[in-house]
Structure 1
């Protein structure tokens, strides 16, 4: 993903971590539902998106500082950097 216009967090990715299961780990614990899923590219945990009631992916970023998530949705191939607010397809 080496590109001058892309932030350092996205440029640092050497592989894309995929969701082990297509569920929001936090929503499962509380019995909540989700809309779309995102996988953290630092730890590999999968959480729900900001369109979901609990916004667990963003909460995970604020709690952990892990800057990049990928879509865990079938057919979607992109990564998002929370810090630099950049999205890149792959």
Structure 2
């Protein structure tokens, strides 16, 4: 086991090849059911979306940053729910807003 400067187990935090710290946010996620497959904010504004994301903390579904206005990011900024996933069937893509990377 290797320790970092703070005396914490650095090996347990490491990702593949020890290069990237592991995102612990995914370990804390509850099981959630996604809401309806639409961005309610976009519908209210009469806009369309390019891709939908689901919040893995609460199941809220919103549009991605692929097109404006990016309601999924706004949801993160309002709630601090850190991880979203693509709502596409069969997708395993997940994004952590805190670490600003896929997880």
Alignment of 1:2-81 (within 5 A): 4-5=14-15, 6-13=22-29, 15=31, 17-81=32-96
Q: Output the CA distance in 2 between the equivalents of 1:14 and 1:61.
A: 16
Paired residues, number: 85
Runs of 5+ unmatched residues, structure 1: none
| Structure 1 residue matching 2:73: 3-state secondary structure | helix
Q: Output the CA distance in 1 between the equivalents of 2:64 and 2:33.
A: 15
Where do 4+ consecutive residues of structure 1 move more than 3 Å?
Answer: none
Larger radius of gyration, structure 1 or 2? 2
| Structure 2 residue matching 1:80: 3-state secondary structure | strand
Alpha-carbon RMSD:
1.8
Structure having the higher strand fraction is 1
Q: Normalization by structure 2: what TM-score?
A: 0.71
Structure having the higher helix fraction is 2
